[in-house]
Amino acid sequence: MKLDTQGWFSGVRRLVSPNRDERPAHTRISLLVIHNISLPPDQFGGQGIDQLFTNTLPHDIHPYYDQLRGVRVSSHFLIRRTGEIVQYVPCHQRAWHAGVSIWQGRERCNDFSLGIELEGSDFVPFTEAQYRRLSYLSRRLKREYPIRDIVGHADIAPLRKTDPGPYFDWQRYLDSL
């Protein structure tokens, strides 16, 4: 995987999200945020995540989707349960993954972070392939950017979020870096 001058990695599937914008001027990427996501909830392998991040989610095909009307979110990366990596937003731009958030007294974590979604939920373990690819992607990102901290979504938005959840093995992941 090589990072091009536009912030896209080679060797991953690219699906461009419109849910992105420019980072504030002179902002350095220093935080990596790990999430989990599944659409419909606790179902894996479908197109729901891609559709959500590209504003093409058909709200009438699942009851849960109705509450996502008008939601505009994205992440830089998704790692599917198979280990496939999808990139939605170039690293140089701000993805809309953190929402209202704060890390070490600094608000608006989207401004200075990269987001990685793991296809999963708070109720099932992640796959071997996901840990391998997450480790590899994280090491590549750390080589490219001055990332000082790696946190879960729950760490930056503890009153709203629980992901990556209790089944995420932080020690295993951090040891792999």
Per-residue pLDDT of the chain (177 residues; tens, 9 = 90+): 999 999 999 999 999 999 999 999 999 999 999 999 999 999 999 999 999 999 999 999 999 999 999 999 999 999 999 999 999 999 999 999 999 999 999 999 999 999 999 999 999 999 999 999 999 999 999 999 999 999 999 999 999 999 999 999 999 999 999
Which of 107, 117, 119, 144 does the annotation list as catalytic? 117
Q: What pLDDT, on the 0 to 100 scale, is given for residue 105? A: 97
Q: What pTM did the predictor assign?
A: 0.97
What is the spatial distance between Cα 77 and Cα 89, in angstroms, rounded to a whole number?
7
The token pair at 159 is 């009153």
DSSP string over 22-88: EPPTTPPP-EEEEEEE-SSTT--SSSHHHHHHTT---TTSSGGGGGGTT-----SEEE-TTS-EEE-
Q: Which residues of 34-49 are buried (b: 16+ CB within 10 A; e: fewer)?
A: bbbbbbeeeebeeebb
Q: Which pLDDT value is given to residue 170?
A: 98
Burial class (CB in 10 A: 0-12, 13-18, 19+), 24: exposed
Calculate the dihedral angle through the C-alpha atoms of 79, 171, 1, 119, rounding to the nearest 10 degrees.
0
Fold of 13-176: Lysozyme-like (3.40.80)
Catalytic status, residue 107: no
Q: What is the pLDDT of residue 145?
A: 97
Query: Residue 93: beta bridge partners?
Result: 22
Domain map of the chain by residue range?
13-176
Which pLDDT score, from 0 to 100, does residue 124 have? 97
Please state whether the peptide bond connecting residue 164 to the residue before it is cis, i.e. omega within 30 degrees of 0.
Answer: yes
